[in-house]
Amino acid sequence: MTFAGLRGDCGQCFGLCCVALPFAASSDFAVDKAAGEPCRNLLADSRCSIHDRLPAAGFRGCTVFDCFGAGQRVSQETFGGRDWRSSPAASAMFRTFPVVRALHELLWYVTEALERTDAADVHDELRTARKEIDAVASGTPDELAAVDVNALRGAVNALLLRTSEAVRAPDAPTAPRGDDAAAAPRRRAQSRRADLRGAKRRGVDSGGGASRGADLRGVNRRGADLVGASLRGADLRGANLRGACLIAADLRGADLRRADLIGADLRDADLRGADLTDALFLTVPQLAAARGDATTRLPRHLDAPAQWSF
């Protein structure tokens, strides 16, 4: 499994994301749609009738979605190239698609982790995990329906955390390992307090605001509310930004090399001029939700979204 196999290929899919998944009328979608109901914009040949004007038509949410290659796998492998329109197994296809998508997202993270030479100590376990997840994703519809995705996600996340610690070192403090689980809450609290004190000394307040060009190397803002944070030009190398809410944050010119961005909400974050060349666990949907341009430097396995301004 490589990154190439984890990119959506709509030409090999039957528009599963446009049918299987639900959405609600909001700033991202112009209308409500139930799971299993074809989108009103889906054509008979599985193309989108408004693909070239999705945001203007009120379907911005479609531009930030990525199936990680699950669409073509379910269409061509799991169901042998059968179109849901003429298959009695259509409902099974719709149930299977979200499961395989979740598995492929895990494969994306594991594949990236295996490219991190600084995390070589975790590579054997990562390779085993990748084989196991890929085998699960190759299961029958009934087998896939019984998959405990959350359990798999938890097991993989432990490996990704170890990868993150290795890559972010020496900028980031080491998180507690499994054998220190009993002391983990206390240590995490101590780490957060120490981290915030250090962050304040280096130019960032508890609300996320920072002086321009602040030195925030290794800062731990996991899950932090950084909505609209002023982080322009900040040195965020090795920062822990897992699950951080960075909606509309100003990250122009920020250095995010080796920063862990898994699960970070980058909607409308300004990444113009930011350096993300070595950022950890960045995905296509995160970039598509953010704002960037030709000056934004990206990891080599990611392309700039078509909707960015150039």
Burial degree of 142 (CB within 10 A; 0-12, 13-18, 19+): exposed
Q: What are the residues whose beta carbons fall under 8 Å from the beta carbon of 107, sequence distance 6 or more? A: 1, 6, 68, 130, 133, 134, 137
CB 261 within 8 A of CB 245: no
User: Would you say residue 178 lies in a domain?
Assistant: no
Confidence of residue 207 (pLDDT cuts 50, 70, 90): low
Domain of 47 in residue numbering reads as 3-168
pLDDT of residue 148: 97
Separation of alpha carbons 24 and 33, rounded Å = 6
210 shares a domain with 105 = no
Domains held by the chain: number: 2
161 shares a domain with 20 = yes
Read off the pLDDT of residues 154-181 as tens digits, 9 standing for 90 and up.
Answer: 999 999 999 999 999 966 544 444 444 4
Read off the pLDDT of residues 209-258 as tens digits, 9 standing for 90 and up.
Answer: 666 789 999 999 999 999 999 999 999 999 999 999 999 999 999 999 99
Separation of alpha carbons 77 and 20, rounded Å = 17
CB 84 within 8 A of CB 16: yes
What CATH number does the domain containing 297 carry?
2.160.20.80
pLDDT of residue 208: 57
pLDDT of residue 210: 66
56 shares a domain with 24 = yes
231 shares a domain with 126 = no
CA 273 to chain centre: 21
147 shares a domain with 17 = yes
205 shares a domain with 246 = yes
Confidence of residue 307 (pLDDT cuts 50, 70, 90): confident
User: Would you say residue 299 lies in a domain?
Assistant: yes
pLDDT of residue 182: 46
pLDDT of residue 263: 97
Q: Point out the domain boundary residue: 112, 139, 168.
A: 168
